[in-house]
Structure 1
């Protein structure tokens, strides 16, 4: 491994638990989709957008480390840092809104219909 790669991995060591949590949340959302329906789908999409924000930040960090180690000036990094920061924060903001809608704004309805499973099982 090169020096750039090792430096990049060292810079991301504190962010890896978040990536693992986001992947776990997507897996749980997919698992709960048949019973939860739309809220699980919204939560899964929200956590996917969190992963996209994480990936944008990671790609920017790698590019920044690579550029500085190869003699690039810090002034050349400013426009790209602005754009990647904006894209990352917008992705995370939309993801957060989707997760909040999943938690507080939608009914618990299964995929197959609009009734809850408990209502179907207790119907006489």
Structure 2
């Protein structure tokens, strides 16, 4: 949720994403369903503070039906290598199951919506 962190990892701030989220929430209240998907990237988005901030934002906009914490997937590392593109997360492992379960509990503690779940492949090792 931190704009400076978003700028650091993506090259752009998150203001447009937050505006679009607000528009989507307004639309969903009258016309549809809103599912929010948050990528959980070790070392970038996997902090308690970030999850709390996202939960607070979801609470503020209201209307979300589902919030998914989407586990980081490193399968694209070879693609970046073949394209000769440096990728900040090329050596980033999958998130540990225990850590994702912790983040899921943090997310649920925000009561951002009724359906909060984790998706994606996890590292089963302790």
TM class by shorter chain equals under 0.3
Q: Which has the higher contact order (CA 8 A, sep 6+)?
A: 1
* TM-score computed with the length of structure 1 as normaliser: 0.26
Name the one with the larger helix percent: 1
Name the one with the larger strand percent: 2
